[in-house]
Amino acid sequence: MRLTNYTDYSLRVLIYLALKDQNELGTIREIAENYQISKNHLMKIIHDLGKLGYIETIRGRYGGIKLAMDPKDINIGEVVSKTEEDFHIVECFNHEKNYCVITPSCKLKHILHEALQAFIHVLKKYTLEDLTQNKDDLRQLLTFEES
């Protein structure tokens, strides 16, 4: 199983914002610089995370972004499920583009489906709060601007 960069970056944004003080705002620029990610990539991610209700965007001169929810209420499995385009880890998982001739009798698809469900199940055990228990260590690796 491999997650897309989109999901990886979404999780990184959430982690970064969880490391901020409760009312402190982050910016796309600082997140992009810290993770060495294109600001253009992050703009769509920030927009989508806002639509999903995970972050709040504040416009204006002193605007920025912050978590819209408590980190303990942001479930990692749900974030992954909502940010991944699909979980077609093999051709037969995509009913529209499945040309595999052994699909009707294949046992592998059932095993892979079970493995995928286990993957999601494990991720659903964790929250953003769990990922940021080591805040001091993470903050040392990232640069935070003064408010």
Whole-angstrom Cα distance, residue 101 to residue 91? 11
Judged against a pLDDT cut of 60, whether residue 24 lies above it is answered with yes
DSSP class of residue 68 equals: S
Judged against a pLDDT cut of 50, whether residue 147 lies above it is answered with: no
| CATH number corresponding to 5-141 | 1.10.10.10
DSSP bridge pairs for 26: 65
- The residue assigned the tokens 């491999």 is 2
pLDDT one-digit tens code per residue, 45-84:
999 999 999 999 999 888 999 999 999 999 999 999 999 9
Instruction: Fill in the DSSP letter of residue 93.
Output: G
Q: Per-residue pLDDT tens for 92-136?
A: 787 888 888 888 888 988 898 899 999 999 999 999 999 999 999
Segment 6-29 shows an average pLDDT of: 94
> Degrees (nearest 5) of the Cα angle 22, 24, 30?
130
pLDDT at 145: 55
Indicate if the pLDDT at residue 30 is higher than 60. yes
7-14: average pLDDT? 97
pLDDT-derived band at 23 (thresholds 50, 70, 90) equals confident
* pLDDT the model gives residue 31: 96
Q: What is the pLDDT of residue 47?
A: 96
What predicted TM-score, i.e. pTM, was given to this entire model?
A: 0.88
Q: What are the residues whose beta carbons fall under 8 Å from the beta carbon of 65, sequence distance 6 or more? A: 17, 25, 26, 27, 28, 46, 50, 55, 56, 57, 58
